[in-house]
Amino acid sequence: MKNEHNDETLILDQVEDLQKRTRTAIKSGSDALTHSLVVEYEKLLSNAWIQSLFLLNEQLKYEFSLLQTESATIPSKSKDDPLAQLKWLDNSISKLEMLVKRLVPTDMKTESELHPRVLDASGKLFHDGHYTEAIFNAFKALEEYVREKSGIK
């Protein structure tokens, strides 16, 4: 489910956009934006790393920290060759994209697969990131629905 309010999905969209612009710069041979692309990459990496801190997955946190350490070498890579810097940045963005994709939940049902009562009771909460409350409200709505259908009060 593509969730426009989900921080991880937003970061993934931004990483994919940065990747496209970096590859366009490589193809065109333009190095005018190299510095701004690097700065943008570092901001996205930092935001993604912050998101990873909320996870229980220690391996993913470790991989983000390695990528952050590696990003410190961008300015020293091929100082006289901006195109080489762009290629290195492209590679780093690809690594970031793979990590961010692991932050984004992929096994969630689409809204069309959920019962309308679940959506009514918890959809907005879920989209706003209030997962515990969304689950609780969904459970209550389904319990009420089952009671109605079974005639139990």
The confidence score (pLDDT) of residue 138 equals: 86
Q: Give the pLDDT confidence score for residue 1 in this predicted structure.
A: 38
Q: What does 44-104 look like in DSSP terms, one character per residue?
A: HHHHHHHHHTTSS-HHHHHHHHHHHHHHTTTTTTTTT-HHHHHHHHHHHHHHHHHHHHHHS
pLDDT of residue 131: 74
Residues contacting residue 10 through CB under 8 Å, at least 6 positions apart: 4
What pLDDT does 24 receive? Answer: 92
Domain count, the chain: 2
pLDDT tens for the chain, residues 1 to 153:
344 446 777 888 899 999 999 999 999 887 777 788 888 999 999 888 887 777 767 888 888 888 888 887 766 656 678 788 888 889 999 999 988 888 766 555 555 577 788 888 888 887 777 778 888 888 888 888 888 888 887
Q: What pLDDT shows up at residue 56?
A: 64
Residues 40 and 99 placed together within one structural domain of the fold: yes
The confidence score (pLDDT) of residue 4 equals 41
Residue 2 maps to a domain: no
For residue 17, being part of any structural domain is answered with yes
Residue 81 structural domain: 7-103
Confidence (pTM): 0.61
Do 92 and 116 fall into the same domain? no
